[in-house]
Structure 1
Amino acid sequence: MKKARMFPFERNRYFYGKLLTVRDFESEQKYFNDKRRLLNRLLFGSGVVAGMQVVPVDDKTITVEMGVAIDYLGREIVVPAPVTLKLSMIDGFTNNEYKKNVYLYVAYDEKGREPVHAVGNSSVRGEETSEYNRFLESYRLYVKEEAPSPLSFEHSGLMEDIVTIYQDNDVRVTQRMPKYANPGDVVDVTLVVEKTLQTPRVSIAFEYAADGFDALDQEGNQVRFLEPGDKQDTEYRLSYSVKVQDRPGTIGKLVLNSGATELFIGDNRIPLDHTVSHSVEIIEQPVAERILKDWYERSLDQAAEGYADRNVCLAKIGLLQLGPTYMIEQVERVPYGEYIPNASLMHKIAHNNRASSLHRFYAESQAYELEFGSKPTLDVVYHPERNAFDFKLGIPKPQAINDEIATGTIDVTMDTQERSGMRFFSRGKRNYVSEEIVHGLGAGQVTVVVGLEEIPDANAPVGSGGAKVYFGSADVFKDTEYEAVLPNITFGTLIYPDKGSFRIGMKLAGATEATSLRVRWWAFKKLADGGNVIVSNVETAINEAAAGTENN
């Protein structure tokens, strides 16, 4: 099938005694080849199926890995083994200028093999002739030095409206936006700058006039692009957004006036002598349905022949000029996305992404502090023109707990009178009440925690342990390595809320050898009413603020 045009399919009918000629055998092969290639073309499309990666080997050499592709006529292209070639030896490469991008293509190619003596032809012609015994379904690699037009790809015209702002041998500036849009949609307009590696920095600024669209960006209808100085790429993209007005059944226009456009390549200003314009249909029907409708209504000639002269682009290769020669700087594989994905894989991907892609929106968040004791707040503002939410969360500051705690010690001296070798509290009593202690937290309710502190002997060896504070009954540590040398004492506290003070009461549960005791206390101030919850994490604040928002 050397041409895309379809002819009625005919297949051989065999019967006993049929005389088979060359024509019969050729039509046998043609029947199966043409039918398979037609289905390849219409069902699968064209592009790389697997492999065919282009890898730079050195400054002037590339390797094309083994792989499979289908061309725009449905023919299978198979690279059975890696092939390594100098770029200058590939068809189409010229040596007139090295500051450029070149595009590597793969094409279907048939080659004759196994020449044999043709007996029938020699009897007719009278001289010896040879014919090929086989056709090898092979491939051909070649280079083009002109970038393909964005509209030369099969699906581009169905989905996008693409205009060219400027183009020369080194730079091409185009702009793309959807071909169809629904009222109220926010659509992206994409500015694409393509250039060679050694072309000076490119910048462009313009104002656009819109009919059927509203500008959403902060700069209104002004767009500016300046190529970053720290990068070395051959393609840059800048997107800005517009909102489709509620005007179904009309054609939206986005116009770039040449007089309001400034294009610089390096320090040179490039004059533009034409006005470019986008045309977008504003429709009520879902955009995907409209694109499928256009796809299904195309003619067979458009489907099978429309792109018959195209081949699959395997790589865009950026070259740098080095004096009288060149070097390969970078290789971009399959730059125009000509792939044929596996159908079952695409089904799984679509199934996995279906839930997450149904409702897509954008969100911005901001958190700020509130005074301690305030209730958390959550403010949500929806911007329908951008399909975006603004979340503002107010989080109360945590209480400065160190300002609400006081601690101290008191020393209690034991009586020196001996009774049965033991010493007791003064006057032989086993109860002791301290003087009034001011805790320093001011008036109000406090909680006092009391413990008995054991001070280590100053002459104790290093590593024997530091100071210890025992709370509650020390008897629980008896007969363990942690047994206290202190007596077992029961504590009580008496609080004076109006004075901001307290007393400690102690009751001795048994005899002791100690001559003095050190009591350590901690006082915790009761928080003010309404402020007795300390917000210590964002999650708690969000939950409380969300609950308040829901109630409101």
Structure 2
Amino acid sequence: MKKARMFPFERNRYFYGKLLTVRDFESEQKYFNDKRRLLNRLLFGSGVVAGMQVVAVDDKTITVEMGVAIDYLGREIVISSPVTLKLSMIDGFTNNEYKKNVYLYAAYDEKGREPVHSVGNSSVRGEEMSEYNRFLESYRLYVKEEAPSPLSFEHAGLLEDVITIYQDSDVRVTQRMPKYANPGDVIDATLVVEKTLQTPRVSLSFAYAADGFDSLDKEGNNVRFLEPGDKQETEYRLSYSVKVQDRPGTIGKLTLNAGAVELFIGDNRIPLDHSVSHSVEIIAQPVADRILKDWYERSLDQAAEGFADQNVCLAKIGLLQLGPTYMIEQVERVPFGEYIPNASLMHRISQSGRSSSLNRFYAESQAYDLEYGSKPELDVVYHPERNAFDFKLGIPKPQTINDEMATGTVDVPLDTQEKSGMRFFSRGKRNFVTDEITHGLGNGQITVVVGLEEIPDPNAPVGSGGSKVYYGASDVFKDTEYEAELPNITFGTLIYPDKGSFRIGMKLGGATEATSLRVRWWAFKKLPDGANVQISGAQTAIAEAAAGSEKN
């Protein structure tokens, strides 16, 4: 199937009296299979179509859910029912080292089914022979213990330039940059650190030399990575940005010299004996057009056969070593993004209005104070060499006052006598004193203003008015539309300067049906000379209203 599909397809021609042999029936199946698989390969690509999730059942067992994938030869891989296996029983898993990451793959596999007696073979060979009556298009799961190269995937070589800084059995450090860039673009160099779970902390620092790029980092050309101590991951990424110079038609170079790289694994410094360099082509045409051009100009051999030996990676499994055995700590599904998206879904996403820009901008900001009552100020400066905007915002100071103040309410129950369903004070208690109230302004002299708060009836119609607070003598509003439905009360206050508290005394001047009263109080304290308190506009309005009530 591999090379035959590279040649013109032939199909059977049927006619009356044609003698059909095994060859004819096999070519009939091969014709349709090879054509379908070629279109699968070229139109859809390879990867997981749906399902095939890998889940850790316990410390040593995984389950692969049912699903569909297409391999790198266009063949359909179908897992028709969930399969549960011990990791150590999967082909390719070795028991000599447990501190590692392993990679679970799915491969297309045909298996013979239904053995039947073969009349033709027995007549030729003189003994009873059997042949399989069916082929089951099945699958095979296996494990690889080596991480695949980042460039082993079909699209990686078109999109990225990948360099390997360091690699051993436990750690691999690579860096990736776009293969093409436009002048003025801001592009990322992405440092990727892959490690096993039990490998000590990795730290890396280096200074890079750039030809065709300008650094955007405040630290210049210095890059530092330190693995977080509170995490347990098998892969970390760190990106830093550079700006492409206006040099179309040239090759940009970003080089890491061996002497400028410091790599530590735990407390051990790892010497590097070679320098590595990125090559990024700076082009005038849009990057997407150039990538598509490379894609369309590839040969049929590259398109159909270039990755024939590769299978679909379903999971990256991180193992922890526990004495003589191991346990599954992490399962990362489809770690290399080998998915085949639905064409209808991709069309809808493309029509959703989401867009991305090839140019990115950075913003820096600072704020400064203006005098109270001034208008806010905004100054913006653009730095084209860094693609950065510098925002400076002037904010007016809030108003200051020379007094501290506090407020609160206290509910005072009334002890009255009942008579004929009415409540009177004629025979009941007339003088009331609250418990000691802490005003929160600290020790020292204060001034207290007291008022009587009228709570609106919750059953009153909408628009009839909210709560009201009466300061001073409320009977001045008698026979007006503002007359209070409250008893006439005389207030007094008792201050405790050494305790930071006070009491409110009340004397009722007449009868009332109320069972309790709500008293609103305001406490004011003079600050020492030179001190002030900042308040908002709302607090200013309250303070002015309270001061006016006190004067009245």
For the superposition of Structure 1 and Structure 2, which TM-score range results when normalised by the shorter chain? 0.7 to 0.9
The correspondence of residues 402-441 of structure 1 with structure 2, limited to 5 A, is: none
Trace 1:319-330 onto structure 2 (pairs within 5 A): 319-330=319-330
- 1:9-408 paired onto structure 2 within 5 Å: 9-355=9-355, 357=357, 361-400=361-400
The 8 Å contact of residues 197 and 318 in structure 2, kept in 1 or not, is answered as yes
State the Cα deviation string for residues 280-326 of structure 1 (Å, max 9, x = none): 11110111110010000000000001001100001110101000000
The separation in 1 between residues aligned to 2:488 and 2:268, in whole angstroms, is 93
Structure 2 CA distance, aligned partners of 1:368 and 1:147? Answer: 53
CA distance in 2, matches of 1:454, 1:3: 98
Deviation at 1:259, TM superposition (A): 1.5
Cα distance in 2 for residues equivalent to 1:264 and 1:311: 34
Q: Which residue of 1 aligns with 2:481?
A: 477
Equivalent residues of 1:5, 1:304 under 8 A apart: no
SS for the counterpart of 2:151 is helix
Q: CA 1:355/1:329 → structure 2, altered by over 3 Å: closer, same or farther?
A: closer
- Tell me the alpha carbon deviations over residues 59-92 of structure 1, each in whole angstroms, 9 at most, x when there is no partner: 0000001111000001110111110000000000
Corresponding residue pairs, total: 439
State the 1:272 CA deviation.
1.0
- Residue by residue, what CA displacement relative to the aligned partner does 1:325-365 show, whole Å, maximum 9, x if unpaired? 00001011111010111112122222224356587544344
Shift of residue 390 of structure 1? 3.0
**For residues 77 and 471 of structure 1, what CA distance do their matches in structure 2 show?**
92
Give me the whole-angstrom Cα distance separating, in 1, the residues matched to 2:8 and 2:399.
86
CA separation of 1:388/1:125 partners in 2, compared to 1, >3 Å: closer, same or farther? same
Matched position secondary structure for 1:301? helix
What secondary structure is seen at the aligned counterpart in 2 of 1:12? coil
Q: Which amino acid aligns with 2:313?
A: C
Change (3 A) 1:476 1:345: farther
Q: Distance in 2 between matches of 1:215 and 1:133?
A: 67
Instruction: Note if contact 2:46-2:71 (Cα within 8 Å) is conserved in structure 1.
Output: yes
364-373 or 64-73: bigger deviation = 364-373
Deviation at 1:367, TM superposition (A): 3.7
Note if contact 2:5-2:38 (Cα within 8 Å) is conserved in structure 1.
no
Q: Which moved more, 1:10-19 or 1:196-205?
A: 10-19
Secondary structure in structure 1 of the residue aligned to 2:354: helix
Cα offset for 1:369?
3.0
Deviation at 1:9, TM superposition (A): 0.8
Q: Distance in 2 between matches of 1:212 and 1:67?
A: 47
Q: Distance in 2 between matches of 1:455 and 1:229?
A: 59
The answer to whether the 8 A contact 1:186-1:386 is kept is no
In structure 2, what residue type is equivalent to 1:482? E
Deviations 1:175-230 (A, max 9, x none): 11111111111111111111111111111111111111111111111111111111
Secondary structure, aligned partner of 1:477: coil
Partner of 2:496: none
Q: Is the 8 A contact 2:185 2:359 kept in 1?
A: no
Deviation, 1:399, is: 3.2
Answer with 1 or 2: which has the greater Rg. Answer: 1
Letter in 2 for 1:306: G
Question: What pairs with 1:529-540 in structure 2 (closer than 5 Å)?
Answer: none
Q: Which residue of 2 aligns with 1:432?
A: none
Structure 1 residues 268-277 or 53-62, which shifts more? 268-277
Instruction: Note the alpha carbon deviations across 1:401-436, whole angstroms, 9 max, x for none.
Output: 798x9xxxxxxxxxxxxxxxxxxxxxxxxxxxxxxx
- Checking the alignment, whether the CA contact within 8 Å between 2:376 and 2:395 is kept in structure 1 is yes
1:4–1:73 CA contact under 8 A, matched in 2:
no
Matched residue type, 2:391? F
CA shift for structure 1 position 267: 1.3
Query: Conserved in 1, the CA contact under 8 Å of 2:209 and 2:221?
Result: yes
User: In the aligned structure 2, how far is the partner of 1:394 from the partner of 1:323?
Assistant: 63
1:221-267 Cα distance to aligned partner (Å, 9 max, x none): 11111111111111111111111111111111111111121111111
Q: Take 2:401 and 2:317, find their aligned partners in 1: how far apart are those partners?
A: 65
How far did 1:128 drift? 1.0
Root-mean-square deviation (CA, aligned residues, Å) is 3.1
Q: Deviations over 1:112-155 (max 9, x none)?
A: 10111111221222111111111101100000000000010011
1:472 offset after TM fit, Å? Answer: 10
Shift in alpha-carbon separation, 1:210–1:536, aligned structure 2, 3 A: farther
Give me the whole-angstrom Cα distance separating, in 1, the residues matched to 2:115 and 2:104.
32
CA distance in 2, matches of 1:231, 1:4: 51
CA distance in 2, matches of 1:325, 1:485: 87
> What's the offset of the Cα at 1:393?
2.0
> Quick check: 2:46–2:70 contact (8 Å CA) kept in 1?
yes
Opposite residue 95 of structure 1, the aligned amino acid is N
202-211 or 315-324: bigger deviation: 202-211
Q: Quick one: structure 1 residues 536 and 185, their matched pair in 2 at CA, closer, same or farther if it must change by over 3 Å?
A: farther
Which whole-Å CA distance do the structure 2 matches of 1:455 and 1:136 have between them? Answer: 87
Cα contact 1:186–1:385 (8 A) shared by 2: no
SS in 2 for 1:35: helix
SS across alignment from 2:32 = helix
Sort the Cα spacing of 1:475 and 1:355 in 2 relative to 1 into closer, same or farther, 3 A.
farther
Counterpart Cα distance in 2 of 1:135 and 1:289: 44
Equivalent position amino acid for 1:155 in 2: H
Partner of 1:23: helix, strand, or coil? Answer: helix
State TM-score, norm by structure 2: 0.74
Does the CA contact (< 8 Å) of 2:375 and 2:396 recur in 1?
yes
Query: What secondary structure does 1:352 align onto?
Result: coil
1:99 touches 1:197 (CA, 8 Å); kept in 2? yes
Structure-2 residue corresponding to 1:491: none
User: What displacement does 1:397 show?
Assistant: 2.4
Matched residue, 2:506: none
Unaligned runs of 5+ in 1: 406-452, 457-464, 487-512, 514-533, 538-552
Bigger mean CA offset, 389-398 vs 20-29: 389-398
Q: Is the 8 A contact 1:215 1:241 kept in 2?
A: yes
How far is 1:271 from its partner?
A: 1.3
Structure 1 pair 241/116, CA: closer, same or farther in 2 (3 Å)?
A: same
Separation in 2, partners of 1:2, 1:128: 34
Measure the CA separation in 2 of the matches of 1:53 and 1:31: 33
